[in-house]
Amino acid sequence: MANKNKKVLVGMSGGVDSSVTALVLKRDGYDVIGITMQFLSERFLTEAAGTAHYGDAASVARKLGIPHETVDLSRQFQETIIDDFCNEYLNGRTPNPCVRCNRLMKFSFLLKKMKELGAGYIATGHYARVARDDESCRWYIKKAADRKKDQSYFLYMLTQDILKHATFPLGEFTKDEVRRIAKESKLSVHRKDESQEICFIEGKDYRPLLKGCSKPGPIVDSEGNVLGTHTGIADYTLGQRKGLGISVGKPLYVVEMDTKKNTIVVGEKSEAYQNELVCGDVKWISPPPSGPLKTTTKIRSLHRGAEATLYPIGDGRVMLRFSELQWAITPGQSAVFYDADTVLGGGTIESSSRSG
């Protein structure tokens, strides 16, 4: 961090990662201020299992001897993240609320607060790294040293204005090292469980959030034969096999969701593989390419990444063609483009197809 302003604003959720982030920065001589963004209303605080306890953040801040503030952003979070999440599912897409939250809520708020307090940096407990390319004077996101915990996929929408002020100290640590540091420093959160992927749902079942918002319809095969009835398009996602409620003597998977006809199409496993996709709302960290670009692209957070050629098609959209077929390329998810361990950009998957 080259900025001479040693004041840093740390987003503290109450978990071990953000707590150690504050600890490491303080040890490195920074003037640390803890900020807890309360995204969840009382309804979700009581209903969602595994939700970070905001009181733990204040407790850690007292232990570290740093100032701390909790800001209630639950109304904005409901309107910007939760409502969008529900609408995406109702329109047959599988959303990625964490990506959206990072850009529109978490980092934009921290940047604004940083400027209000006259700080020089913002920091979070993400496992990623920020680096500056001296030749282009651009800031880039790189994968974390701990590849199993790497969260660079979720950060592709961050702007240059955010990145030049951002630091991710945990990008150089493994999760085991982070827990060891917390334990040795006698932080009460050192044994705290991992936070759940989506903070406003209980476990992995989002369907109670959408109860009563969609209606049943037919489940058909690729030839239009009716095989059963679905409970509502929002209850399903591409590639799903379990919970279809149909039996034809062989495994079937969701291969298409037609919201106009309120119909789910199922087929054999091979039918759920595609090799092309179109992305919209593309955000670039690197300069946008003017022609074809070879990348390694991840189509979901746990995807290992696959070789693809990217073709700009205008209006902030790109088409990607993969070298090999990919499983269940899902509209609503993010496709993130990499050059080795460097994030180039990403976008929201609009559609997928199979060619050749």
Helix 175-184 and helix 16-27: axis angle, to 10°?
70
In a domain, 202, yes or no: no
**pLDDT in the model for residue 289:** 96
What dihedral do alpha carbons 200, 197, 303, 127 form, nearest 10°?
A: 130
Q: Name the residue range of residue 51's domain.
A: 7-184
* Domain CATH for 175: 3.40.50.620
In a domain, 293, yes or no: yes
Look over the chain and give the mean of its residue pLDDT values, rounded to a whole number: 92
Residue 50 banded pLDDT, cuts 50, 70, 90: very low
Structural domain count of the chain: 3
Q: Which sequence positions are flagged as catalytic? A: 101, 199
Task: Tell me the range of 203-207, 220-224, 333-337 where mean pLDDT is highest.
Answer: 333-337
* Domain CATH for 243: 2.30.30.280
| Whether residue 221 sits in one domain with residue 107 | no
| Whether residue 167 sits in one domain with residue 46 | yes
In a domain, 192, yes or no: no
Report the percent of the chain where pLDDT is more than 90.
82
| Whether residue 301 sits in one domain with residue 159 | no
Between 312 and 356, where is the model more confident?
312
Residues in the chain: 356
Q: Which residues of 31-43 are buried (b: 16+ CB within 10 A; e: fewer)?
A: bbbbbbbbbbbee
| Whether residue 44 sits in one domain with residue 169 | yes
**pLDDT in the model for residue 44:** 67
**pTM across the whole model:** 0.93
State residue 287 phi and psi, 5-degree precision.
-60, 135
d(CA 197, CA 293): 31
Exposed (0-12), middle (13-18) or buried (19+): which is 258, by Cβ within 10 Å?
A: middle
In a domain, 120, yes or no: yes
| Whether residue 261 sits in one domain with residue 137 | no
| Whether residue 276 sits in one domain with residue 349 | yes
* Domain CATH for 344: 2.40.30.10
| Whether residue 11 sits in one domain with residue 139 | yes
| Whether residue 167 sits in one domain with residue 280 | no
In a domain, 196, yes or no: no
β-sheet bridge partners, residue 338: 296, 343
Other Cβ atoms less than 10 A from the Cβ of 193: the count is 9
One DSSP character per residue, 128-159 reads: EEEEEETTTTEEEEEE-SSTTT--GGGGTT--
d(CA 14, CA 36): 8
> pLDDT tens across 70-79, in order?
999 999 999 9
Domain boundary among 244, 267, 290: 267
What dihedral do alpha carbons 70, 155, 197, 337 form, nearest 10°?
A: 170
